[in-house]
Structure 1
Amino acid sequence: MTKPNSDGATGPQSDAFATRLRKSTAKLSSRSFLLVIIIVASAVIGSWFPQISAPLRFLFSSKTEVVQPAEQQSAEGLVKLTLEQIEAAKIETAPAGPGTLTKRLVAPASMTPDPDRIGRVAAKVAGTIAELRKRLGDNVALNEVIAVVDSREVADAKSGYLAAAVQYDLQNQLFLREKGLFEKKITAEQLFLKAKTSFAEAKLRLDLARQKLAALDLSESEITDLPSQPISSLRRKEIRAPIAGRVIERLVSLGQPVGGEGQAKELYVLSDLSVVQADISVPISDLAAIREGQLVLVKTPDERVFEGKVVVVNAIITQETRSGHVIASFGNPDFALHPGVLLNAEIALARTPVKVRIPRAAMQMIDNEPTVFVRAPNGFVKRKIVIGATDDVSAEVTAGLSPGEAIAVSNTFVLKAEAAKSNIPEE
C-alpha cells in the first residue's frame, strides 16, 4: 500500500501533477517568447517602413473614432473639426450675402481684330521699296516712319515745287518793284499790271505744286524743309503709320516695285490689339434674347477671364449653320486675347438680384433636402435650407440662412461624410 505524502497526496499522483506543471510552464514560456519576438519585429518594421505603419495607425484611430462618435460629434448637428483638420481637408469658408443670379448662354466664339482699329499702309506712289523698318509683330507708333520708297513721281513733284518756289520769289520781287515805281508815277500802269499778273500766276503754280506734294502724303513740315534737303533725298518718300498698333501683315519685300499697274498697293497691315472682338455663333432660338450691351465672358486656355459687351447683333442668318452672329468687344491691355483663337463665350441673358446667394458647391443633399454647413467655433453645423432661383454656379436661399453667416463653400462632401458617421439631427 502506498503511503500518503505529508500534503495528503499519494506518490504517483504527486508525480503526475508535477509533470503537468512543468509542461504548462514550458508552454507559457514559449508563448511569452513568441510574444516578445512579435513586439520587437513590429517595432523594427515600423521604424524601417513608416509608410506601412502610418496607414495602419490611421486605420486603427479611425476605427476608434467610429466606435466612439461622441468624441467627434455632438448631438446637436455639430461636426467637430479642429483648425488643422479643416486646413488639411482644404475646406474654404465664405459669408453668405446678397448677389446676382445670371442666366447665361454658352456659344463658340472666334477672336478677331476690331475693324475700326485696323490700318492699311498704302504705297500712294509708284516706285521701289528702299527700306522696310518694321517686321511682323513689331509695335508701331502713330506717324512713325515704317518704310521708304524710291519714286520718280515723288522726285518730279518735289522738283516742280522747288522750281515754282523760285519763280514765285522772283515774280514777287518784280511785282513789289513795279508797284513802288507805279505809285511814284515813274513807270506806266501797263508794266505794273503785267508784273502783277506774272506774280499771281507764279503764286498759283506754287500752290498747285504744294497741293500735289500733299496728295503724295508729304506733311507740311516736309514740304517746308524741301529747299534745305540734299538733292539725293528728292526721290525718297517716307511711309508713315496711319495708326498706333502692331504689324499683323507685311506684304512686300526690299526692292519690290509698288504702286504701279498690277503691282502691290499696300505695304503693311497694322492693328491696335488693345481692343479685340469676338464673333459668336448663336443658335436662332437664342438670338432673340440677346441685346446690345449685355455682358459677355470668355476664358483663355490659361484660365484668365475677360469681360466684354455685345456691340452688334447681326440679324443675317448663316445658311450652312443656321445660326446668327453676335459681335462682342473686349479690352485687351496685355494682348492676351489673340485674334484667330477659338474660345467659348458666355453671354449674360438675364441678371436677377437676390438677398442671399451661395455657391452651388456649398450645398449637399442630405435626406433629399439641400443642406449647408455653417461655421461654428469648433467645427461646422449642418443646416437645412430652402432654395429659390438658381443659375449655373449659384443659388438663392429663401429660408434657413441669414446674410453674413459663414458657410463652407468647398470640399463640403467631406463634411457630409463626417455627418453621416452618426445620425446627427439638423439644427
Structure 2
Amino acid sequence: MSDEQIKLAQIDLAKVASGTIAKRLVVPGGIVPHADRIAHVSVKLSGTVAELRKNIGEDVVKDEVIAVLESREVADAKSEYLAARLTNDLQQDLFNRDRVLWEGKAATEQQYLRSRNTAAQSGMRVNIARQKLMALGLAENEIVALPDAPEARLRRQDVRTPISGRVVERKVELGTAVGRDSLETELFVVVDLSRVWVELSVASADLPLIKEGQAVKISARGLEGTTTGKIVFVSPLVDKDTRTARVVAEIPNPDGAWRPGSFVTAAIALNERTAAAVLPVTAIQKSEGRPIVFVRTNDGFEKRVVTLGQKEDQSVEVVSGVTAGETIAATNTFSLKAELAKPRDED
C-alpha cells in the first residue's frame, strides 16, 4: 500500500515505543471544588449595599473590588483615624520642639517628659484607629490614601475578593442591609476551579493498597479525554454502613471541563512499571487464534505475530514480535486483516 492508499483507508500509523503499564483499581467518584480554593466573601460591619460589580458566572481576580458598601460605622472609624492622625502630627511637632528646648536648657525636664508622654499616647491612638480600619477590611494602601480621599468616600467601603476564580453565588441585592446585630453577612461565594478534587469511595478491603501520592487516571461519560492526578488524602475512618472510606484525589482543571457535581470513574495505579513496547489495543488483531500486528514496510504492511503482556485501558504491552522504533498500523487494522484473508492467485 502506498502512503495515499493508507490515507484513503484512514489507517493511522504509530511508532513502537516504551511506555508505562500499571495495575489499577477502578472506583466511582465525584468532582467537588478544591476546599482550599473556595472563598466566602463576607462582611461584619453594618451598612447597605451601594454597588454590586460582579454577577454569577463572572470571573474575578484576587483583590478586585466586587461590591461597595455605604456604612456609618466605616465613616466613624475613618473620621476617628483622621482625627487621631491630625492630633498625633501636632503632638509630634510639639514634642520635637520641647526636646530641642530641653537639650538647649531652655525648658524643664518635666515639660519635656510630659510632652514625650503625650506624643506617645497620640501615636498609640493612631495605631488603634488604624487597626480598627484594617479589621473593617481596609487595606494598608487605602488607609494611607485616606487624608487625600474625597469626603464622599469616607462612608463607602470596598469589598474585595481574596482569591481569583469565578462567582458561583451572589447572596445580596442592591440596597440590602448587612451586618445587622453585629452578625456576619455573606455577599458572594467565589470558587477557583483551576484545580479540583475527586472524592472517591474505596472499599475497606482495598484500603491497604491505597497510599497518598498514588497516581489516578480520571475519566467520565460524555468527555472524550482523560486526566491524571494524585491522591492527597486517605481517610482513616470507614463508614459503618457502606464499609467504604473517603479518598480524595486532586486533578488539574485549566479549561473547566471537570465540573463539580459530575460523576467520574477513577483508576488508581497500584503499581507501575515501564514496558519496552506498548501499543494501542486497536493495533492488535487475531489470525489463526494468535495476536498479530501490521508492521509498515516499503511495500505496504507485514503481518507480525506478537506476544502480549499486561493490558491497561486502551494500551497493551508487547513482550515480543516488534521492536522499538518500528512503525505499525494503529487504527482500522481490521481492513488489513480482511485483505490478509483474501485468497491469493497461485503462481
Q: TM-score, normalised by structure 1?
A: 0.72
Identify if the C-alpha distance between structure 1 residues 152 and 380 changes in structure 2 by more than 3 Å, giving closer, same or farther: same
Q: Which amino acid aligns with 2:306?
A: I
Q: Once the two structures are aligned, what percentage of the paired residues are identical?
A: 45
Matches within 5 A, 1:107-256: 107-256=27-176
Q: Which residue of 2 aligns with 1:381?
A: 302
> Relative to structure 2, which stretch is displaced further, 402-411 or 272-281?
402-411
Contact 1:128 1:149 in 2 (8 A): yes
Instruction: Sort the Cα spacing of 1:281 and 1:171 in 2 relative to 1 into closer, same or farther, 3 A.
Output: same
The equivalent of 2:273 in structure 1 is 352
| Cα separation, partners in 2 of 1:127 and 1:386, compared to 1, 3 Å | same
Structure 2 counterparts to residues 258-273 of structure 1, below 5 A: 258-261=178-181, 265-273=185-193
Q: 1:137 to 1:190 in 2, by over 3 A?
A: same
- Contact 1:98 / 1:403 at 8 angstroms: preserved in 2? yes
**Which SS does the other structure have where 1:396 is aligned?**
strand
Residue 324 of structure 1 pairs with residue 276 of structure 2? no
Output the CA distance in 1 between the equivalents of 2:344 and 2:206.
47
The answer on whether the counterparts of 1:257 and 1:264 sit within 8 Å (CA) in structure 2 is: no
Q: Structure 1 counterpart of 2:16, which letter? A: A
Q: 1:258 to 1:189 in 2, by over 3 A?
A: same
**Amino acid across the alignment from 1:330:** I
Match of residue 19 from structure 2:
99
Farther off after superposition, 122-131 or 256-265: 256-265
Q: Contact 2:46–2:182 (CA<8 Å) still a contact in 1?
A: no
| Structure with the higher fraction of residues in strand conformation | 2
Q: Which one has a larger percent helix, Structure 1 or Structure 2?
A: 1
Give the whole-Å Cα distance in 1 for the aligned partners of 2:38 and 2:175.
26
Describe the shift of the 1:264–1:204 C-alpha distance in structure 2 as closer, same or farther (beyond 3 A): closer
Q: Is the 8 A contact 2:25 2:269 kept in 1?
A: yes
Q: Which moved more, 1:206-215 or 1:195-204?
A: 195-204
CA distance in 2, matches of 1:398, 1:186: 101
- Comparing both chains, which one has the higher relative contact order based on Cα–Cα distances under 8 Å and sequence gaps of 6 or more? 2
Distance in 1 separating the partners of 2:241 and 2:302 = 56
Question: Match of 1:333?
Answer: 254
Please tell me the residue identity of whatever aligns with 2:315.
Answer: S
In structure 2, do the counterparts of structure 1 residues 359 and 208 end up closer, same or farther at CA, with 3 Å as the change threshold?
closer
CA distance in 2, matches of 1:393, 1:358: 9
| Alpha-carbon distance in structure 2 between the residues aligned to 1:184 and 1:407 | 98
Shift of residue 354 of structure 1? Answer: 1.9
1:361 equivalent in structure 2 = 282
Deviation at 1:115, TM superposition (A): 1.2
Larger-gyration structure (1/2): 1
Task: List alignment gaps of at least 5 residues for structure 1.
Answer: 1-80
Q: Which runs of 5+ in 2 are unaligned?
A: none
Give the CA deviation at 1:159: 1.6
Report the alpha carbon displacement of residue 135 of structure 1 after superposing the two structures with TM. 0.8
Matched, 1:306 2:227: yes
Q: State the 4+ residue runs in structure 1 displaced beyond 6 angstroms.
A: none
Whole-Å Cα distance in 2 between the matches of residues 136 and 358 of structure 1?
46
Question: Per-residue deviation at 1:177?
Answer: 4.0
The answer as to whether partners of 1:122 and 1:265 remain within 8 angstroms in 2 is yes
TM-score, scaled relative to structure 2: 0.87
Q: CA deviation at 1:119?
A: 1.9
